[in-house]
Structure 1
Amino acid sequence: MGTISLKNAGHRAGELLFSNLNLVIADGDHVGLVAPNGRGKSTLLRAMAGQAELSEGDITRSRGLSIGFVPQEVPATALGQGLTSFVASALDAATLDAESWRVDVVLEEMSIPPELRDKPMGELSGGWQRMALLARSWVTQPDALLMDEPTNHLDLGRIMMLEEWLAYAARSIPVVIASHDRAFLDATTNRTLFLRPSEQVYLPLAYSAARAELDQIDAAAEAQRERDLKQAAQLRKQAAKLTNIGINSGSDLLTVKSKQLRDRAEKIETQVLETHKERTGLVKLGNSGAEAKVMMAFENVPIATPDGTPLFAIDKLHIFQGDRIVLLGRNGTGKSQFMRVVTEALAGSVPSGLRISPQLAPGYLDQALAWLPLDPSPLDYLLHRFDEGDRRTIALLAGAGFPPDRQGKPIRTMSLGQRARLALLALRLQRPNFYLLDEPTNHLDIPGQEQLEADIREQGATTILVTHDRAFLRAIGTRFLLIERKRLVEVDGPERFFAEMAE
């Protein structure tokens, strides 16, 4: 039986990330590891894998337990390696010499095409790099599997393939998955660990059910805290009244009684637990509004690759103010090219057959954050781009999770999650009424995703969205457009497309 045991585990990196973590992960436990960006998920996974040390507590692995670890990124030193060599490098020389067939088997198992197997890792897309990382971890035939954001850069078909693979290949071993993909966690886990600075919450439920239970736990804790503080306030009020009476009457007994009441109040106040509140630096988007009914209209607009290869045609499509449109389609059908055509049109290169309302004020967020400069600091970038003034810009950055000592450091030194928050803040300051979102949740944690969902729904801004995040698109979509048979057609919802992708 394979187990990973944590006793009083905790970690500090300047601030306390998590503490008091006690649990045993055993065969068949598939654990979703959930926390905002920067709260220690990757550190904990690396420590479980034996690749890092925690600042507090102990991690014990059962004797002889071999662990497969899937990190977020390919090491820079491996980018020049061919894919097959990269996977094979997980095996020692003796095993590789005797059982080289393992490499071919796992490449087939991950459905990695033959034409990609000799390509250098640095030339592969993020999705294929992710599959190579998974293959490298699995070729060692591990007894436990640890995965850090495994769905990043994967399209919907690959995500569903990974869900199915975990269900049969890793069914009986311990699995820990750090992910912000709520639908993926629901499909692949049977336990959830909410990682927090103080008291940890570990529930024998998949994410959505565990989150509902957690909300009830937090609500009950907050209600108890309010009751305790109210009782302490009443005791102090009674003590003050007795003190006044004791002074006026000269009664030492009332003075003693008053002190006893104050001591009781202080004891209650010291025992009151601070309820957990996520401090993630959420950015609230808005909607500058428009009077136009139709924001964008297509009629007989062809969509093609940059070299002119036809992909599909849009016969007739009106995008009305307030529409939240989700674009669906298999890889290669033209979703990215559709987004490119719309982006170029909003920049002034409008193709024949497309009309754009003069009231449309666009805001664009793409998965690569390619438009975000890397050399300036967040403060310099916003000061030069927007006329908000020094004091307000500093305050806005602080509200988005960038303390003053972090605002002057280059953007390139920030994590992708931090860059995503900065990009959202820049998007807010553009004051758009039309959002063009291409995989916007790729680097957002769950609180950030939920905030973005709420903003888009509540503000009523017109939106076109491409995403593999099923929970996100279900939460915000009001119209669904599917690319199939070289046509763009409107469908009632995404579920039929999901079912087809799963097949």
Structure 2
Amino acid sequence: MALITLRNLGVTLGAPLFSGLNLSINAGDRIGLVAANGRGKSTLLRCISGLLEPGEGEITRSRGLTVGHVEQTLPAALSGASFRAAVLDALPADQAEHESWRVDVVLETMEVPETLRERPLSQLSGGWQRLALLARTWVREPDVLLLDEPTNHLDLTRILQLEGWLNALPRDVPVVIASHDRAFLDATTNRTLFLRPEKSQTFALPYSQAREAIDAADASDERRYQRDMKQAQQLRQQAAKLNNIGINSGSDLLVVKTKQLKQRAERLEETARPAHLERSAGAIRLSNRGTHARVLVTLEDAQIATPDGTALFRTGRQFICQGDRIVLLGRNGAGKTRLVNALRAAIGGDGEPATAPFGIKKTPSLVLGYGDQALADLADDDTPHGAIVRRFSVGDQRARSLLAGIGIAIEMQGQPVGRLSGGQKARLGMLVLRLAEPNFYLLDEPTNHLDIEGQEALERELMAQQASCLFVSHDRSFVRAVANRFWVIERRRLVEVEDAETFFREAAAG
């Protein structure tokens, strides 16, 4: 028996987010919820949890069912609370007084370090804040768990820990996960719902297999649509010929036949439905200025250290060559971001002179394209239009056209960057990179804030442009698709390995 049943559910906000949605959530279900940014995932989860009434259709829940819903953002009222206090606050007053041990059990199972449990959430990273929200929900022992982008802000180790925690949950507790992390969905789900404005589809498969199935279904739909439209066109051509003959001969029979052919064509056109095309959230394009230099950067056993001078690791002798797509791997705190910062300082860019740390040399023709995970180069009080025209000689109309092409409408181009969604801001950052026309990309968590469509577009562009890059990423699917060299920081040394899989396995094992 289904615990939650959705019948003909629909929500319209300006345009339909989804409609006619039917879904049963059963014991043991692990459902991945997939859609582009802003296409209704969070809205659907809020409908299932009871926080939002759908515009059409109905939701039936089993009597007495409790639904735990982990949203994306930390409520402001909790920012001053400690990790433990925030979780304790989620319990009813009588349980908080007599069963506070439940909080410690949850914190232990989620491997929250003792040193973090009494610290205010406002002092913790976004990843730990996300886990605090999850702990607050799970301590109430819900019958159904809804997770909205649970891997946002988590490093790879925490993502893998979360995978393990989810897979260890009682199998009768269904979980619905809205996520853009393809590897995470593959590891934690057994069903996939592709949410669409019309004809959402569910497959009893994890994401990658379900993606193949829906791509095949879309291709079949497209072939059927093209066949039907071609047949309708042929019927209309036959009708036109018969109509001319009928007029010239005065044959009533041919006039009737002409009408019948037109009607058949109209029925075909009315019933034919084009295959689903994902409404693009905005194009991602990159560029590659190119260079004749084979070696772009040389590392001569450079020492990478913290700002106070504490040594983290040495690089050994390493080369970054044209065509290299190097992923930098390492445990949290190993010094990945420090090496990225050292490379950025050595190369210079955006009007900043190169200030090369000892042991890092670049070719004179190197032009840097740098993107950080926080998109700090985009000031929240600037505007998208201003961010483009002040940096690049593109002119007002060209700037507006470029911004529209990445999904930032005219009315948003003069608004503060801080009002953009995470996906819009990420695409703006990619546009800035493209216009800089670099020949070397230095990217820190480039898929943060990008939906699956955006991640795949970035992968295609890096490959199509034959871009040289070094990047840091916790996105295993992105790493596997893009990287052709693999650097790992281990035992205070930078070493090259054959692939990332050993590192992933070791991170999973803790």
Match of 2:440 in 1: 434
* Residue type at the aligned position of 2:447: T
How far did 1:376 drift?
2.8
Per mean C-alpha deviation after superposition, the further-off stretch among 347-356 and 144-153 is 347-356
Question: SS state of the match for residue 385, structure 1?
Answer: coil
How far did 1:165 drift?
0.9
Question: SS state of the match for residue 274, structure 1?
Answer: coil
8 Å Cα contact 1:192/1:207 also seen in 2: yes
Match of 1:364 in 2: 370
Within 2, Cα distance between the matches of 1:371 and 1:51? 36
Match of 2:68 in 1: 68
Per mean C-alpha deviation after superposition, the further-off stretch among 60-69 and 321-330 is 60-69
Matched, 1:493 2:493: no
Match of 1:12 in 2: 12
Match of 1:34 in 2: 34
Match of 2:262 in 1: 262
8 Å Cα contact 2:10/2:20 also seen in 1: yes
Match of 1:276 in 2: 276
- Runs of 4+ with >4 A deviation: none
Match of 1:331 in 2: 332
8 Å Cα contact 2:346/2:361 also seen in 1: no
Question: SS state of the match for residue 424, structure 2?
Answer: helix
- C-alpha offsets along residues 372-428 of structure 1, whole Å, 9 cap, x if unaligned? 111232223222222212222222222211222332322111111111111111111
How far did 1:2 drift?
6.6
2:477 to 435, 452, 471: 471
How far did 1:308 drift?
0.6
Per mean C-alpha deviation after superposition, the further-off stretch among 408-417 and 300-309 is 408-417
How far did 1:19 drift?
1.0
Match of 1:210 in 2: 210
Matched, 1:377 2:383: yes
Per mean C-alpha deviation after superposition, the further-off stretch among 211-220 and 263-272 is 263-272
2:488 to 471, 482, 491: 482
8 Å Cα contact 1:35/1:195 also seen in 2: yes
Write the mapping of 1:347-426 to structure 2, written as runs, cut at 5 A. Answer: 347=348, 348-426=354-432
- C-alpha offsets along residues 334-391 of structure 1, whole Å, 9 cap, x if unaligned? 1111111112222211112211112111111111111111123222322222221222
How far did 1:487 drift?
0.6
8 Å Cα contact 1:2/1:65 also seen in 2: no
Write the mapping of 1:58-457 to structure 2, written as runs, cut at 5 A. Answer: 58-279=58-279, 280-347=281-348, 348-457=354-463
8 Å Cα contact 1:286/1:428 also seen in 2: yes
How far did 1:293 drift?
0.3
* Residue type at the aligned position of 1:432: P
8 Å Cα contact 1:2/1:173 also seen in 2: no
TM-score (norm 1): 0.98
8 Å Cα contact 1:2/1:144 also seen in 2: no
Within 2, Cα distance between the matches of 1:5 and 1:69? 17
- C-alpha offsets along residues 303-336 of structure 1, whole Å, 9 cap, x if unaligned? 0111110010011011000100011111111111
How far did 1:170 drift?
4.3
- C-alpha offsets along residues 448-472 of structure 1, whole Å, 9 cap, x if unaligned? 0000001111111111011111010
How far did 1:476 drift?
0.4
How far did 1:274 drift?
2.3
- For structure 2, the residue ranges without an aligned partner over 5 or more in a row are 349-353
Within 2, Cα distance between the matches of 1:254 and 1:408? 62
Question: SS state of the match for residue 412, structure 2?
Answer: coil
* Residue type at the aligned position of 2:495: V
Within 2, Cα distance between the matches of 1:226 and 1:274? 8
8 Å Cα contact 1:321/1:462 also seen in 2: yes
Question: SS state of the match for residue 211, structure 1?
Answer: helix
Per mean C-alpha deviation after superposition, the further-off stretch among 428-437 and 377-386 is 377-386
How far did 1:234 drift?
0.1
Within 2, Cα distance between the matches of 1:435 and 1:159? 26
* Residue type at the aligned position of 2:434: R
8 Å Cα contact 2:487/2:494 also seen in 1: yes
How far did 1:252 drift?
2.7
- For structure 1, the residue ranges without an aligned partner over 5 or more in a row are none
8 Å Cα contact 2:345/2:357 also seen in 1: no
Per mean C-alpha deviation after superposition, the further-off stretch among 118-127 and 391-400 is 391-400
Question: In angstroms, what is the RMSD of aligned CA positions?
Answer: 1.2
- C-alpha offsets along residues 213-244 of structure 1, whole Å, 9 cap, x if unaligned? 11100000000000000000000111111111
- CA gap of 1:2–1:223, structure 2 versus 1, over 3 A, is closer
- C-alpha offsets along residues 117-139 of structure 1, whole Å, 9 cap, x if unaligned? 12111111111111111111110
8 Å Cα contact 1:290/1:359 also seen in 2: yes
Within 2, Cα distance between the matches of 1:388 and 1:250? 65
Within 2, Cα distance between the matches of 1:22 and 1:472? 32
TM-score (norm 2): 0.96
- CA gap of 1:170–1:412, structure 2 versus 1, over 3 A, is farther
